[in-house]
Amino acid sequence: MSYSLYSTDGRGDSGSVSCVYWLDEAGTLQTEHNAKPRVGVSIRVGSMTGRSYSNQDWWQTSLITEILEETEETAKFKTGNSTYTWERR
């Protein structure tokens, strides 16, 4: 499975990883792999391993604040400062 995550200005990445991150009530970092975007989490998409020293390996958003559109395979959402499109292929 492959994922992509790009902002409206073209910044982002693609790869085999789509993982969300959030802090639970105790302040412990929680993760969920092969995840879709949802409000209250950050999402990281990219490669599990380093590709090279000349390219980035993943792209991570700040906290997601709003889901604008959603299907089973795509989501368009907002963070505090950007709008992103996420896709699962």
Q: What's the rounded mean pLDDT across residues 51-63?
A: 79
Confidence class of residue 1 from pLDDT cuts 50, 70 and 90? confident
Domain-wise residue ranges, the chain = 3-88
27-56 residue pLDDT tens: 999 999 999 999 999 999 998 766 555 567
Dig out the tokens for 23 from the structure: 């802090």
Given a cut of 80, is residue 18 above it in pLDDT?
yes
Has this prediction a pTM greater than 0.85?
A: yes
Number of other residues whose CB lies within 10 A of the CB of residue 51? 13
To which residue do tokens 């390996």 refer?
57
Q: Could you tell me which of 28, 27, 26, 18 has the C-alpha nearest to residue 64?
A: 18
- Is 59:18 a contact under the CB 8 Å cutoff? no
